[in-house]
């Protein structure tokens, strides 16, 4: 909720109101809120910087350890950096 409050117009709605479909008052309040400035869309840049630092700028042993750890939890990448044939 903290990120939403900082970067979007939002309100918390009680569970009972949500389940009962009683959203009219909450929507009126929400639409009356001022919109904060849009956050910078830097997620792709941050991810690329993390990947570059993790896999390309650290010592080779650390890179291989990270690749193995990633591979352990990912069935999408059938890749072993030490397998040559």
Mean pLDDT of residues grouped by 10 in the chain (85 residues)? 81 89 91 85 82 75 74 58 53
- Shared-domain flag, residues 80 and 44: yes
Give the per-residue pLDDT at 73. Answer: 63
Give the torsion through C-alpha atoms of 40, 43, 46, 47, to 10 deg: -170
- Shared-domain flag, residues 49 and 27: no
- Shared-domain flag, residues 45 and 85: yes
- Shared-domain flag, residues 21 and 58: no
Q: How many domains does the chain have?
A: 2
- Residue-number span of the structural domain to which 15 is assigned: 2-32
- Shared-domain flag, residues 83 and 46: yes
Give the per-residue pLDDT at 32. Answer: 93
Tell me if 17 sits within 8 A of 8, measured CB to CB: no
């Amino acid at each position: 909720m903290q990120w939403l409050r900082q970067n979007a117009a939002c309100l918390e709605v009680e569970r009972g109101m949500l389940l009962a479909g009683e959203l009219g008052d909450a929507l009126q309040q929400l639409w009356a809120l001022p919109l904060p400035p849009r956050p910078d869309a830097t997620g792709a840049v941050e991810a690329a910087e993390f990947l570059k630092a993790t896999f390309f700028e650290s010592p080779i042993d650390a890179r291989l350890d990270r690749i193995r750890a990633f591979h352990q939890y990912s069935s999408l990448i059938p890749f072993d950096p030490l397998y040559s044939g």
